[in-house]
Amino acid sequence: MRVRGVFATLSDRLRQALSRVGLRAGEYDGDYDRLSRLYRLPDPWRLGRPQEVERYRRTNDIIRLLAPERGALLEIGSGEGHHTQHLMEVASAVVGIEISAEAVRRARDRVPSATFHRGRGEDLELIVGDRRFAVATACEVLCYSPAAHFILEQMARVADRVVVTTYEGQERRVAPLFHDDRWIRLPDIVVGRYRWHCRVWTSDARPSAPECRPS
């Protein structure tokens, strides 16, 4: 029975890996059901790896500079709360939005002091209502939405600053979203052979929400 269980776990992991490859080949298709199914096993994106933890730390450094007052923070694509637990260090409260019910359940276990909602980033204004945030983040998630421009526009309406990070391999798909000169490109986050591109928008320096071009 133990051997059978090991093979079942390996089989699930293989299906996860193949699903990740398929999603990366077809980002922006909006297949949220398929995305949710990846969470049948914990941490399908391997977000507990050292390079990811270092990315969280450096993202926090950016947020500290942008919002030293440690206000409320909105996290789009909060997953199982791996990044959330680090964001709690730079915010008075964190609200996460995630499409997968299983991921939300694990996130609540991992970070009980944060608030998590199951839903789409496209519906964030309906989810948060009239609540305002000091910072809104979208880290490694925009490439999976067919309406990423609409998500960004909503983020800029509910938050004073918006922080977006994108893995280098996805940059070609998301770069057109930031054609507006009201987005500021920051130095890349580089950890070993991994590189993430960083962009921010702030209401202090930009009088209105950025108009983001659909991809």
What pairs with residue 74 in β-bridges?
A: 95, 136
Burial (CB < 10 A; 0-12, 13-18, 19+), residue 137, is buried
Confidence bin at 211 (pLDDT 50/70/90): low
**Is 50 exceeded by the pLDDT of residue 19?**
no
pLDDT at 66: 94
Mean pLDDT of 73-96: 98
pLDDT bracket for residue 212 (50, 70, 90): low
The pair phi, psi for residue 87, each rounded to 5°, is -65, -25
Higher pLDDT, 154 or 34: 154
In this predicted structure, the answer to whether residue 175 has a pLDDT above a threshold of 90 is yes
Largest CA distance in the chain: 63
Two structure tokens written together for 52: 């990811």
Among 120, 25, 27, residue whose Cα is nearest residue 77: 120
Is residue 178 within 8 Å of 156, Cβ to Cβ? no
According to the 3-state scheme, what is the secondary structure of the chain? Answer: CHHHHHHHHHHHHHHHHHHHHHHHHCCCCCCHHHHHHHHHCCCCCCCCCHHHHHHHHHHHHHHHHHCCCCCEEEEECCCCCCCHHHHHHHCCEEEEEECCHHHHHHHHHHCCCCEEEECCHHHHHHHHCCCCEEEEEEECCHHHCCCHHHHHHHHHHHEEEEEEEEEHHHHHHHHHHHCCCCCEEEEEEEECCEEEEEEEEECCCCCCCCCCCCC
pLDDT band at 70 (very low <50, low <70, confident <90, very high): very high
Give residue-wise pLDDT tens across range 100-119.
999 999 999 999 999 999 99
Mean pLDDT on 209-213 = 52
Residue 150's pLDDT band, with cuts at 50, 70 and 90, is very high
pLDDT at 153: 96
The band of 139, judged by pLDDT with boundaries at 50, 70 and 90, is very high
Give the integer Cα–Cα distance in Å for 184 and 214: 18
The rounded mean pLDDT for the chain is 86
Q: Quick one: pLDDT at residue 22?
A: 46
Judged against a pLDDT cut of 90, whether residue 167 lies above it is answered with yes
